[in-house]
Amino acid sequence: MDMPARQRPTEGQLALAALIAKGEASHGAGIETVPARVYTDPARFEAEQARIFRRAPQVIAPSALLPRLNMAVPHDALGLPLLLARDKSGKAHVFHNVCRHRGTRLVEGDAPVCAPRLVCPYHAWAYSMDGALAGLPRPDTFPGLDRAGYRLAELPSHEAGGLIWVARDPAADFADAAMLAPEFDAFGLAGHHLYRRRVHDVAANWKLIMDAFQESYHVQRLHAPTIARFFADGVTAMDAVGIHQRSAVGRTDHLADIDPTDWTALRAVITFAYQLFPGTIMIMSPDYVNVMVLMPQAVGRTLVEDFMLIPEPPSTPEEEDHWARSWTLLDEGVFGAEDYRAAALGQQGLSSGALETLTLGTLESGIKYFHDQVEKALG
């Protein structure tokens, strides 16, 4: 994994922080609308799968999922049996979890494998973590077999800024992954420890979940039982990084006293967030990070894998208690019981056909920007 030598904020991050420190916020020009059918039309969902999720690079996991050399983790939620692996040189790979001999699933279950080789349970063909065929029983019964032609099938992938990106399109361009890396190097993401991960099965269209993280209008309302007290209502700045979005939300009413060039102080009072196209959400809390990867399963069903990353493993019972409470607050409370629940309730309402359009106020302009990017990708 790449380990940034120093956490330096980007100019874009500082520009958003300066707006927040001045008490300014990003507002849309006026009311916008989104058609309700984009969340409920099965044909539309299939088009999104074909033209976006099967073509565009997307985040599959943080680098912290593979903290060791010679390590692999099964991954099935994209609809394919995959293996995320880190070889002995430190390079990350995304392989099909399929033996090249007879097509057997190579690694059963979902537990990480830490070993120099992956061994097929059927005929014991063995592969190194870089995908090379390392050995097979009775090689004499395969005369003339070219082992170089029997590497594990691999998907295009790229690791940068503490994230592992994958694509199904062999011609995929990972320029955005490289472009965004400095944003996450500013938080030292590549050096973080994976504290916990959990997959949520949400009864909602994937875009309804993305919508919830592209506006702060709901924070004082939906999150009243949990985190609303930490944030100033409507003090949010947003901008675009290519097709992706970056936002900053003020955490107190005393932002004007903060030096916008002091990165440590800024992180204590501003929560940065990223909405990576097509379906990744990152919440940069003051002392930890949540990475949420959306994996659409059907027009009204989405798996969301939440990864909580902390600067280093807990070393005392007090630290463990702190991180456990943070995990419960965000994963179970804010995300699970509030954001994902709201998305599911929205899916129920929209599926009734009661609305033809959704109405967006000036604090919800990020949603419109996101939907415009979806339309462009479909076009």
CA dist 107 and 239 (Å) reads 42
- Binned at pLDDT 50, 70 and 90, residue 6 comes out as low
Question: Which fold would CATH assign to domain 71-155?
Answer: Rieske Iron-sulfur Protein (2.102.10)
Yes or no: domain 11-57+160-378 corresponds to CATH 3.30.70.100: no
9 CB-near residues (< 8 Å, 6+ apart): 17, 186, 263, 266
Residue 124 has pLDDT above 50, yes or no: yes
Q: Is 86 helix (H, G, I), strand (E, B) or coil?
A: strand
Burial pattern 18-54, b for ≥16 Cβ within 10 A else e, equals ebbbeeebbebeeebebebebbbeeebbeebbeebbe
Residue 254 has pLDDT above 50, yes or no: yes
Domain spans of the chain? 11-57+160-378, 71-155
Residue 257 has pLDDT above 90, yes or no: no
11-57+160-378 shares its CATH topology with 71-155: no
For 273-308, what is each residue's pLDDT tens digit?
A: 999 999 999 999 999 999 999 999 999 999 999 999
Q: What is the pTM of this model?
A: 0.95
The pLDDT value given to residue 143: 97
The pLDDT value given to residue 266: 85
Distances from the Cα of 245 to the Cα of 68, 278, 302, angstroms: 31, 11, 21
CA nearest 181: which of 369, 377, 8? Answer: 8
Residue 232 has pLDDT above 90, yes or no: no
